[in-house]
Amino acid sequence: MKTFRADVAEKVAPSVISARGLGFAVEGRVLIRDVDLDIKAGRRTVIMGSNGAGKSLLLRLLHGLIAPSSGEILWNGRPLDKAARRRQAMVFQRPVMLRRSVLANLDFALRVHGVHGPARRDRERAALAMARLEDLAASPARTLSGGEQQRLAIARALACAPDLLFLDEPTVSLDPASTHAVEMLIGDAHAAGVTTVLVTHDRAQALRLGDDVIFMAGGRIAETGPVEKVLQNPQSEVARAWLEGRLHFEPGASETK
């Protein structure tokens, strides 16, 4: 049970990232609409919803990989710009590895982030240790197993010391042991103060790695709230149907303007 003070502190905590009236359309097809959200610094947010609900698109918008058609994204209260994007990192479902060694993948990311000299070596060593990949440092990254690559992708992202880490279904193709290892890394990131935003279809994972949930349907936010509360007692019909494994037709994403 949270104290009154903790509850109030949480409500007034600054938002690291916010969206206001966010929309995204392609060729007249509205894929994201009317999204308002506030993600507080240090919180763990999970995004859930059916296939095609707009979860990945929302992450890509928030990370600045695609430009919104309407609305705005604020980073610490100011419009999201290039400098702000450098304070964020994103890990995808399928790790994106350069055709180089494990160490060279870390080295490249850190160089791009302007980390040089002994500090870069230190961060590379720390990242290898964090991902438990010291013995594979010289191996071509693309020959690593899926679980090893995902550990490397997360350690590489964290080596750049982001304030916020987006993760788009990072364990979807991993076995339980690899999933556990990846979840531990995400937990370490959070313990180090990184705000996390994770897309997952896995209810148990959402409970393990989330404080708050954003439930999406048809390109909109259908429901938000503390993850335990929403998963145990969803208020929206679409979230209830999805969580109960029932089919639910949600108009929205396929509507045209």
Ligand X SMILES: Nc1ncnc2c1ncn2[C@@H]1O[C@H](COP(=O)(O)OP(=O)(O)OP(=O)(O)O)[C@@H](O)[C@H]1O
d(CA 147, CA 178): 5
Closest CA to 205 of 223, 231, 229, 225: 231
Single residue of 19, 30, 54, 230 touching ligand X by CB under 6 A: 54
| Cβ nearer to ligand X, comparing 106 with 213 | 213
The contact mask relative to ligand X for 13-32 (x = CB under 6 A, - = no) is -------------x----x-
- As measured in angstroms, the least distance from the Cβ of 240 to ligand X is 18
Could you give the angle at the alpha carbon of 60 between the alpha carbons of 85 and 38, nearest 5°? 75
d(CA 218, CA 255): 9
Using the contact rule CB under 6 A, the part of the chain among 1-9, 53-61, 159-167, 241-249 near ligand X is 53-61
Contact between 253 and ligand X (CB under 6 A)?
Answer: yes
- As measured in angstroms, the least distance from the Cβ of 56 to ligand X is 3
Contact between 52 and ligand X (CB under 6 A)?
Answer: yes
Single residue of 12, 28, 51, 176 touching ligand X by CB under 6 A: 51
Amino acid at 257: K
- The total of other beta-carbon atoms located within 10 Å of residue 239's CB is 24
Single residue of 33, 43, 44, 55 touching ligand X by CB under 6 A: 55
Contact between 64 and ligand X (CB under 6 A)?
Answer: no
> What is the widest separation between alpha-carbon atoms in the chain?
56
Single residue of 25, 42, 56, 69 touching ligand X by CB under 6 A: 56
Closest CA to 257 of 59, 66, 34: 34
129: which DSSP letter?
H
| Cβ nearer to ligand X, comparing 54 with 95 | 54
| Cβ nearer to ligand X, comparing 105 with 171 | 171
Query: Under the phi-then-psi rule, with left for phi > 0, alpha for psi from -120 to 50, and beta for the rest, what region is 44?
Result: beta
3-state class percentages of the chain: helix first, strand second, coil last, to nearest 5: 40, 25, 35
Using the contact rule CB under 6 A, the part of the chain among 49-57, 100-108, 117-125, 127-135 near ligand X is 49-57
Using the contact rule CB under 6 A, the part of the chain among 52-60, 182-190, 232-240, 243-251 near ligand X is 52-60
Contact between 146 and ligand X (CB under 6 A)?
Answer: no
Amino acid at 253: A
Contact between 53 and ligand X (CB under 6 A)?
Answer: yes
Contact between 62 and ligand X (CB under 6 A)?
Answer: no
Query: Under the phi-then-psi rule, with left for phi > 0, alpha for psi from -120 to 50, and beta for the rest, what region is 117?
Result: left
Residues of the shown chain interacting with ligand X in the complex, contacts defined by CB under 6 A: 26, 31, 49, 51-57, 253
